[in-house]
Amino acid sequence: MVDVAQLVTQAREGRPRAVARLISLVEGAAPQLREVMAALAPRCGNAYVVGLTGAPGVGKSTSTSALVSAYRRAGRRVAVLAVDPSSPFSGGALLGDRVRMSEHASDPGVYIRSMATRGHLGGLAWAAPQAIRVLDAAGFDVIIVETVGVGQSEVEIAAQADTSVVLLAPGMGDGIQAAKAGILEIGDAYVVNKADRDGADATVRELNHMLGLGEARAPGDWRPPIVKTVAARDQGVDEVIEALDKHRAWMEEHGVLAERRSKRAAREAETIALTTLRERIGELRGGRRLDALAERIVSGSLDPYAAADELIAGLTGVD
């Protein structure tokens, strides 16, 4: 049995084992989540959520680790949520990252957790916000959500972060890939990592061009900065933090932070509602109700819209 009240109390104290248990409940889509989220809600809303995305191997984990160190030097408590949208829900994802982050292992001001999201009905969009809530309520000042940029995942993560950082590296054909993946629309800041390699300046130029940074913007508009880093040697990391701080200040000044958070909350509720409905429809598949409706559609005595209405009415207990 899970003692939710006790876990929540301990998580609020920032006890890592309790935080881990709660995130496991999220991963496993446990029925106790409803109770957990109700208990955590009053404690949420203080953490600054940074999304970090980029193609495989650009240096996300190395950068995350360097960012963690920089935030710690500034006295902030940091949590890292490494989301792997491609690995199965129960998998022990990102072992390599654990090793890479091991320098923070003994620091009680740091919590690192990887989470797999594939295979769950709601996937990344469902699980990540709830894990973020756990970390937020546990009192972390900054939550870094690292995701491999594959397909939709970076867009989904951007929707859940206060600030989104897109990481690129020179010489990987990133420019074209970036344009394809639509990441040019989601970055609040761009980092060209591996600047110790040839082609970093060319990547910066290309990015500048593609983002239209040379063009005029309305006063007060956010202009995404491009920062060069060598994460492996801790170079440029303070500039990244500076860019993040500036973006946060800009969002606060223009009401963007509140707006983003409110959109996020709406999406969260919507995702849970849709996931619940999908689950119930899935349950119906095993039962006779959907079969009966299907029979009537086939025989022409019911059209699919009317059948869907009946289905929805049945699901929500209105009929």
Ligand X SMILES: Nc1nc2c(ncn2[C@@H]2O[C@H](COP(=O)(O)OP(=O)(O)OP(=O)(O)O)[C@@H](O)[C@H]2O)c(=O)[nH]1
Task: Give the binding site for Mg ion (CB under 5 A).
Answer: 60-61
The smaller minimum CB distance to Mg ion, of residues 60 and 133, is found at 60
Told to check if 52 binds ligand X by CB under 6 A, we report: no
User: In the set 21, 60, 113, 120, which binds ligand X (CB under 6 A)?
Assistant: 60
The smaller minimum CB distance to Mg ion, of residues 60 and 228, is found at 60
Number of residues that bind ligand X (CB under 6 A): 16
The smaller minimum CB distance to Mg ion, of residues 86 and 235, is found at 86
Binding mask 70-109 for ligand X (x = CB under 6 A): ----------------------------------------
Binding segment for ligand X among 189-197, 207-215, 238-246, 285-293 (CB under 6 A)? Answer: 189-197
* Residue position matching structure tokens 């998998």: 91
Question: Which of 152, 131, 95 lies closest to 19 in space, CA to CA?
Answer: 131
Cα dihedral sign, 67-68-72-75? positive
- The nearest distance, CB 170 to ligand X, in angstroms, is 10
User: In the set 38, 45, 56, 295, which binds ligand X (CB under 6 A)?
Assistant: 56
- The nearest distance, CB 203 to Mg ion, in angstroms, is 20
Binding to ligand X (CB under 6 A): which residues in 276-315? Answer: none
Q: How many CA atoms lie within 13 A of 163 on its CB side?
A: 27
CA 242 – CA 75 distance, rounded (Å): 15
| CB burial readout 59-96, b (16+ within 10 A) else e | bbbbbbbbbbbbbbeeeebbbbbbbbbebebebebbee
Write out the two tokens for 291: 């079969």
Q: Could you give the C-alpha distances from 239 to 63, 73, 119, 143, 145, in angstroms and in order?
A: 12, 14, 38, 18, 19
What are the percentages of helix, strand and coil residues in the chain, rounded to 5?
A: 55, 15, 30
The smaller minimum CB distance to ligand X, of residues 56 and 212, is found at 56
Binding to ligand X (CB under 6 A): which residues in 122-151? Answer: 148
- Residue 223 one-letter amino acid: R
Q: Which residues pair with 154 in a beta bridge?
A: none
The smaller minimum CB distance to Mg ion, of residues 60 and 77, is found at 60
- The nearest distance, CB 60 to Mg ion, in angstroms, is 5
- Residue 287 is classified by DSSP as S
Told to check if 197 binds ligand X by CB under 6 A, we report: yes
The smaller minimum CB distance to Mg ion, of residues 18 and 83, is found at 83
- The nearest distance, CB 208 to Mg ion, in angstroms, is 26
Q: Which residues bind ligand X (CB under 6 A)?
A: 54, 56-62, 148, 193-194, 196-197, 230-232
